[in-house]
Amino acid sequence: VKRAGRHDFRFFTAAMQQRAARHLQLVNALRFALERGQMHVVYQPQVSLKTGRIIGAEALLRWATPELGAVSPAEFIPAAEESGLIIPIGEWVLRQAVRQARLWLDAGLPPLVMAVNLSAIQFRTADLPSHVAQVLYEEGLPPEYLELELTEGVAVQDPPGAIATMNQLHDRGIRMSIDDFGTGFSSLSHLKKFKVYKLKIDQSFVRDISTDTEDKAIVSAIINMARSLGLTTIAEGVETVEQLEFLREQHCDEIQGYHISKPLPPADFERLLG
């Protein structure tokens, strides 16, 4: 039903204007978010299905301002990326997470791998591998305790460049996983060339895993493919015991999701570990 008259057009531009205004508002506020202490990092446990133990944590960024309240990362991360502010913000998250991992080791808690999300824009900065190595060195964390979560998008623009960066990270002992796996149309040939060691099965496939036969087949295929390539698998967005049981049957290695815990402030995470 196409009735695109003047009225519809105006309505459309009004909505667009509103979005542009919100974007501008976010970017202006994001500029001062760090110096005003409005950001903090929460940590969500990753659990081994073999041992039931917490073996990792994903660092997730949180932002709230007096004017805007809590803003979802799904909204502010894209704004940070478009404005370039993701570079200083991403560096800050990396440092916080690495420092936290070191603090937990020092406290004698069971060792964990700290997973940090990396935007494609950060990934493409020329000095990324040496920057990450520098942060690890300054905070005193051995590289095997860090994992960078990349989306399949990092490889789209410049596959040779992405492979070179991944090789440099790999050579420095820094692990990489592919986030949201299955949503980005990754080719298997890519996976072979990339020095990743883990696939994170996207939560959109996990959601209906107990009822949807197609999603069951997809998840099962990803796990089997990963295994034949020697890659570890983690399923995200696991909310129910039924989902957990299916993943266990399929020999998925690890899970993450509300069934275990929501992302937590450091003190609450320690209680879970201790």
3-state DSSP assignment of residue 3? coil
119 binds, among Ca ion, ligand C2E, none (CB under 5 to 8 A by kind): ligand C2E
Residue numbers 179-198 binding Ca ion by CB under 5 A = 179-180
Paired with 168 in beta bridges are none
Q: What is the DSSP letter of 111?
A: P
Our CB check for ligand C2E shows the closer of 123 and 145 to be 123
**Among the listed residues 209, 237, 244, 252, the single contact to ligand C2E using CB under 6 A:** 237
Q: How far is the CB of 235 from ligand C2E (least distance, A)?
A: 10
1 binds, among ligand C2E, Ca ion, none (CB under 5 to 8 A by kind): none
What single-letter amino acid sits at 130? Answer: S
258 binds ligand C2E (CB under 6 A): yes
32 binds, among ligand C2E, Ca ion, none (CB under 5 to 8 A by kind): none
**Among the listed residues 100, 117, 243, 256, the single contact to Ca ion using CB under 5 A:** 117
69 binds ligand C2E (CB under 6 A): no
149 binds Ca ion (CB under 5 A): yes
111 binds, among ligand C2E, Ca ion, none (CB under 5 to 8 A by kind): none
253 binds, among Ca ion, ligand C2E, none (CB under 5 to 8 A by kind): none
**Among the listed residues 239, 240, 270, 273, the single contact to ligand C2E using CB under 6 A:** 239
Q: How far is the CB of 109 from ligand C2E (least distance, A)?
A: 21
Question: What would the x/- binding string for ligand C2E be over residues 163 to 192, using CB under 6 A?
Answer: ----------------xx------------
Stretch that binds ligand C2E, among 70-78, 169-177, 221-229, 264-272 (CB under 6 A): 70-78
Give the whole-angstrom CA distance, residue 274 versus residue 269: 9
Q: Are strands 146-151 and 232-236 parallel, antiparallel or unpaired?
A: unpaired
**Tokens for 26?**
């976010």
Q: Measuring CA to CA, which residue among 270, 272, 262 is closest to residue 101?
A: 270
Give the whole-angstrom CA distance, residue 144 versus residue 226: 21
Q: How far is the CB of 9 from ligand C2E (least distance, A)?
A: 33
- Taking the C-alpha atoms of 248, 254, 255 and 261 in order, what is their torsion angle to the nearest 10 degrees? 120
Our CB check for ligand C2E shows the closer of 189 and 211 to be 211
84 binds ligand C2E (CB under 6 A): no
Paired with 169 in beta bridges are none
72 binds ligand C2E (CB under 6 A): yes
DSSP code per residue over 153-218: GGGTS-HHHHHHHHHHHHHTT-EEEEEEETSS---HHHHHHS---EEEE-HHHHTTTTT-HHHHHH
- The tokens 């420092």 sit on which residue? 99
For helices 86-106 and 73-83, angle between their N-to-C axes, nearest 10 degrees: 120
74 binds, among Ca ion, ligand C2E, none (CB under 5 to 8 A by kind): ligand C2E
Q: Using an 8 Å Cβ cutoff, are 180 and 151 in contact?
A: yes
DSSP H or E segment with residue 44: strand 39-48
Q: How far is the CB of 117 from Ca ion (least distance, A)?
A: 5
